[in-house]
Amino acid sequence: MLQLGEERMSQTEVDVRGPKDQRSSPCGNLLDRGEREVEEDQEEELGGEDCVILNEDYDTDLELGDQEEAYDPTGYMEACEVLQVVPAYNFLRNMHNSELSMMHRCLGPQGTKALAVPLVTNTSILRLNLRDNWMEGMGGAAIAEMLKENCYITEVDLSDNSLGDHGAGAIASMLKENSTLLNLNLSGNHFTDRSVEHLGPALITNSRLQHLDLSHNALGEQAGQSLGQALSENTGLRSLNLAWNCIRGRGAAILANGLEVNFCLRTVDLSFNGLGEEGASTLGKALKENTVLEELNVSNNRIPPEGAIHLAMGLKVNKTIKSLNMGRNPIQNAGCFTILKSVQENPDSAMEAIYFSDITVNQDFEDLYRAVKEIFPALTVNHGGRIGTFRKAKA
């Protein structure tokens, strides 16, 4: 009877522990409670740190998705669900930083609309970079509407987004109401003359924007006229980039007239357009009257030697230009010589750098440069080399 009782007690103990309290050793044998606790203590001492490191190494978007409630108090996830787009978790990670960069994210129009929802009330982001997201006009309109409400963002990069004329109209509407934006990049958005019909009046109304980039678009003669009229009344812009457009003829002349009476712009880039002699002539007259412009880039503009002479006449009296870029224009040595001579004859010239890239000069130009250096020691001149330097010596 005693033996039977001991067997029953041992069976009872096994049943009470149950399968949850039983654990197999690496060799397949069952471990009792005491052995299991010792093994767990050893794991905590030896392997706990390794487990934490592994978790940190595999911090993925999937893990953030499981905790979206803790990371998204803005309604962004809900907007993505409604618009049926994949959330950009980079926004959730950086929405409390002063700068948000989301370049090349393929947001598209719908993804941009979803992102605009939380940005309306965001008070942390000051600089927003959405370059190359193919947002098109619809996405551009969503960002424009957001900027009407957000009064904290000061810099926005919307370049390479195919905004088109529709997007330009929305941006123009925003500029008439926004009073905090200082820097706006609209490069590479397929803007045409029709786009500037909207942007021109907006630049007259807005006096807060300081830096505008409209390079790499399709702005033509009509756009030059509209921008010239806008610049004659604008009181806010400090720099304007119109490089790689198609501004020429009468449009270039009216644009130069606008620069003549503008008293705010410090930097203007007109490279890779088609100013020609007519535009250079009007620009030379503008330099006689303008008293604030410091940097001017008119490289690659088909300016002939006669156009360089007109520019030189303006430089003879100008007191503010510090940097002039006339590289890759067919002005030849005569044009370069005339420009440098005008600086020599202007005792009040502020010129510090002149660029004649890919234009060869002769010895007369080199002699003049040495004479000018005695008057303006800090002046540097870059050119395409001296004629005859690379000729083979005669036998």
The architecture CATH gives domain 86-383? Alpha-Beta Horseshoe (3.80)
Cα distances from 49 to residues 42, 55, 211, 283, 315, in angstroms, run 12, 10, 51, 70, 71
Contact 280, 307 (CB under 8 A): yes
Note the pLDDT of residue 387. Answer: 82
From the first residue on, what is the mean pLDDT of each consecutive set of 10 residues in the chain (395 residues)?
A: 47 41 45 48 47 41 44 82 93 94 96 97 97 97 98 98 98 97 98 97 97 98 96 97 96 96 97 96 96 98 97 97 98 97 97 97 96 96 82 47
Note the pLDDT of residue 41. Answer: 52
Cα separation of 92 and 73, whole Å? 10
Q: Which contacts qualify for 141-146: CB closer than 8 Å, 24 or more apart?
A: 141/166, 141/167, 141/170, 142/109, 142/112, 142/113, 142/116, 143/112, 143/116, 144/170, 144/171, 144/173, 144/174, 145/116, 145/170, 145/174, 146/116, 146/119, 146/120
Note the pLDDT of residue 11. Answer: 47
Contact 376, 347 (CB under 8 A): no
Cα distances from 139 to residues 45, 72, 108, 124, 127, in angstroms, run 54, 22, 7, 22, 18
Note the pLDDT of residue 2. Answer: 45
